Amino acid sequence: GAVVSQHPSWVICKSGTSVKIECRSLDFQATTMFWYRQFPKQSLMLMATSNEGSKATYEQGVEKDKFLINHASLTLSTLTVTSAHPEDSSFYICSAIAREGYNQPQHFGDGTRLSIL
């Protein structure tokens, strides 16, 4: 149980386009979802916390107008990278916490590798 699915797994697009990444909890309801970014040979960096039905909370230094997060339901959160540029190329990973568990672990998706040409 506790499966988180991310789509797409990888995407290549031209500079200036916007890219949407979906994160779904398949077999549980997720009150809270998180978005991370990871550059090669580095650790995960938390970008934002997404709560169903409310605005996302962004970490310091993360541009909210650049990385739009929508948590429309208890099973779906989306991250849109707007007007993407080569420096936005990275591995984007989402995670989710089950609704019932305050001290439950985060369940991670397999990540989306984004390459901007």
Partner 1 sequence: DAKTTQPNSMESNEEEPVHLPCNHSTISGTDYIHWYRQLPSQGPEYVIHGLTSNVNNRMASLAIAEDRKSSTLILHRATLRDAAVYYCILRDNFRDNQGGKLIFGQGTELSVKP
Residues making contact with partner 1 (CB under 8 A): 4, 6, 31-32, 34, 36, 43-46, 49, 51, 57, 93-95, 97, 102-103, 105-111, 113
Q: Which is nearer to partner 1, 88 or 111 (CB)?
A: 111
Query: What is the closest distance, in whole angstroms, from the C-beta atom of residue 44 to partner 1 in the complex?
Result: 4
Distance CA 13, CA 44 (A): 23
Q: Which is nearer to partner 1, 64 or 85 (CB)?
A: 64
Query: What is the closest distance, in whole angstroms, from the C-beta atom of residue 43 to partner 1 in the complex?
Result: 5
Query: What is the closest distance, in whole angstroms, from the C-beta atom of residue 83 to partner 1 in the complex?
Result: 26
Distance CA 6, CA 52 (A): 17
Q: Where are the beta strands (DSSP E) in the chain?
A: 4-7, 10-13, 19-25, 30-38, 45-51, 57-58, 67-73, 76-81, 90-98, 107-108, 112-116
